[in-house]
Amino acid sequence: MQVNADVSLLNKDSRSLTRAFRDYNWPMEWVYLSPHFDDVALSCGGLVWQQAQAGQRVTVWTLCAGAVPQGPLSEFAQSLHARWGTEEASAPAQRAAEDIASCQQMGAGWQHFDVPDCIYRQGPDGEFLYASEAALNGDLHPGEARLIQQLARQLADRLPKRARLVCPLAVGSHVDHQLVRAAAERLKRRLWYYADYPYVLKHAESLEQMAQQGWLGRVMPISSAGLAAWQAAVAAHASQISSFWPDLDAMRAAMAQYCAQNGGLKLWKKVRKAP
């Protein structure tokens, strides 16, 4: 399917519009890496929909989609379960079902990998690697080097040769986002990156410096129908809405504002080494 010429576009940069349309209308395959079930819907939902509408094959791969491990959980994990309002064992299953509904809203396929969320991961002696709010945005635990390697191998095995791979920048430094980026960067393929929403709202300065550091940002326009699909894709993650917004209307307003402020959605790629 071609993008309609009369589609209402927020972006005014004609050069980037031309480039974006050329890509939308080019048969192509995209794989988006999502650390958690909602990251791609939140960060790129409108763009995924635009690409799917343009006849491109788009798939969202959620990497930290594993089951809750057997055995006791950390107090921190138990407190999060209480906040989410889900039964311990059904949390990933419920979120997986929400993700499938969300991907359907975007017109994308999905794959779920089996890495448990960082709050469940343990070291060789059974210690929980990330057992506090602060640890979630700290450094990746050195004991995770093996997991990065395993994940990179799994990605390499499953990735279609010609697919364009889009991975999170890990803005805000969530350890699972860092993990996904580290695994993707081991592949030695050309990567596109997206800014992690909503973390990017509090870390705008980290994007401002990227142009000086050899990064190129390219705005992909999102139509009003694309924005509506983006909002619907986020709404499908029903258990997560209250973590970010008071209600669905507030979510829709926030996504509209984010889309308008960027004139669509910006994808990043590294074009040269930092000076």
Q: Which stretch binds Zn ion (CB under 5 A): 20-28, 29-37, 41-49, 73-81?
A: 29-37
Per CB under 5 A, does 263 bind Zn ion?
Answer: no
* CA angle (248, 239, 40) in 5-degree steps: 80
CB of 58 to Zn ion, least distance (A): 19
Helix (H, G, I), strand (E, B) or coil at 180: helix
**Residue ranges of E strands in 183-259:** 191-194, 215-220
20-54: burial string, b at 16+ Cβ within 10 Å, e else:
bbebbeeebbbbbbbbbbbbbbbbbbbbbbbbbbb
User: What are the backbone angles phi and psi of residue 156, rounded to the nearest 5°?
Assistant: -60, -40
Per CB under 5 A, does 117 bind Zn ion?
Answer: no
Per CB under 5 A, does 92 bind Zn ion?
Answer: no
* CA angle (96, 98, 227) in 5-degree steps: 130
User: With respect to Zn ion, which residue has the nearer C-beta, 10 or 184?
Assistant: 184
CB of 199 to Zn ion, least distance (A): 8
User: With respect to Zn ion, which residue has the nearer C-beta, 3 or 80?
Assistant: 80
Residue type, 149: Q
Per CB under 5 A, does 168 bind Zn ion?
Answer: no
User: With respect to Zn ion, which residue has the nearer C-beta, 35 or 45?
Assistant: 35
Per CB under 5 A, does 36 bind Zn ion?
Answer: yes
Q: Residue 5's CB: how many other CB atoms inside 10 A?
A: 6
10, 20, 35, 229: which one binds Zn ion (CB under 5 A): 35
Per CB under 5 A, does 107 bind Zn ion?
Answer: no
Q: Which stretch binds Zn ion (CB under 5 A): 35-43, 111-119, 120-128, 129-137?
A: 35-43
- Beta strand 191-194 with 265-270: parallel, antiparallel or unpaired? antiparallel
Q: Which stretch binds Zn ion (CB under 5 A): 36-44, 133-141, 178-186, 204-212?
A: 36-44
Binding mask 37-76 for Zn ion (x = CB under 5 A): --x-------------------------------------
Per CB under 5 A, does 81 bind Zn ion?
Answer: no
CB of 64 to Zn ion, least distance (A): 8
Q: Residue 58's CB: how many other CB atoms inside 10 A?
A: 27
DSSP H/E element including 57: strand 57-62
Calpha distance 102→96 (Å, rounded): 10
Q: Which stretch binds Zn ion (CB under 5 A): 33-41, 45-53, 90-98, 198-206?
A: 33-41
Per CB under 5 A, does 172 bind Zn ion?
Answer: no
What residues make contact with Zn ion under the rule CB under 5 A? 35-36, 39
